[in-house]
Amino acid sequence: LELNYLLSDSLNLTSLTSYYDVHQASLGETTVASNVGVVFALDGAWDRSDFTQEIRLASNNAGPLNFMLGGFYQNGDLNYLFDLPVNKKIISLGVPLPTSLGQFNSAIGIETISMFGQLQYKITPQLEFSAGARWTKETRDIVPTLVTGPSYSPAGSVIPILKNHIAPKNWSPEVSLTYKPTENLTIFGNLKQAYKSGSFDVGGTISPNTDISFGDERVRGAELGLKTRMLDGALRFN
């Protein structure tokens, strides 16, 4: 849902509200098949829901200086059920195996708060400089539990891990320079830093007293570009 409110001729307030919900199931072969099939399979059920709200305040002044300020909030839940069911046909042949080698459920709670801003300044009518930054704080909490299986006892107990809470923070700056000598020619360059927060590895069995968290990802990049429009708009070269 996008809402735009014109506070004045040069000031606009924008609200973006989103809800995301996904359910996914999978079943995979994990061992070499025999005449009665595989020994055990990998069964997974993945559910995630997110609510996000973003507010932006942007100016549209006739002068050389404009700005944009905003805030972002996210609240999410992720549940992953991991099961290793044993082939019932093999058990029926007298092989002493349990019905499941292990069934684990991981529940992750996510909360994100972010503030961002950007300044745009026209050095000349043809040359514009912009600089911005985003501050992000994200907290993630996990509760891994044993649903059933012979690996741990009792069934339904919380699996002890070394770290069940992470709260990374990050600054991501960017700068850009845009030159438009004519209406049909634009030359631009920018430097940016992107960020993705860490989380927990829930893609398999969870051993007690281990650290299943992983750290943040960060990437820095530079871009130089050219955009043209020629032959009365019939040809574009970028």
DSSP state of 234: T
Phi, psi of 47 (to 5 degrees): -130, 140
Q: What is the dihedral of CA 60, 55, 115, 214, to 10 degrees?
A: -130
- Tokens 């020994």 belong to 39
Q: What is the mean pLDDT of residues 12-19?
A: 98
Is the pLDDT confidence value at 209 over 60? yes
Q: What is the pLDDT of residues 90-139, one digit of tens each?
A: 888 888 888 887 788 899 999 999 999 999 999 999 999 999 999 999 99
The tokens describing 193, both together, are 């830093």
pLDDT exceeds cutoff 60 at 189? yes
Residue 150's pLDDT is what? 55
Matching residue, tokens 């000598």: 181
CA distances from 138 to 46, 72, 80, 115, 118 (A): 21, 11, 20, 12, 21
Query: Phi/psi class of residue 149: alpha, beta or left (left: φ > 0; alpha: ψ in -120 to 50)?
Result: left
- Kindly state the helix (H) or strand (E) to which residue 90 belongs, with its residue range: helix 88-92
Is the pLDDT score of 152 beyond 60?
no
Q: Decide if 103 contacts 148 (C-beta within 8 A).
A: yes
Mean pLDDT score of the chain = 91
Percent share of the chain, pLDDT over 70: 95
> What pLDDT is recorded for position 153?
55
- Rounded to an integer, the average pLDDT of 38-55 is 91
Tell the residue number behind the tokens 């735009």, with chain if given. Answer: 4
Poorest-pLDDT segment among 96-100, 141-145, 173-177, 197-201: 96-100
Q: How confident is the model at residue 188 (pLDDT cuts 50, 70, 90)?
A: very high
What pLDDT is attached to residue 128? 97
* Token pair 């999410």 in the structure block, residue: 76
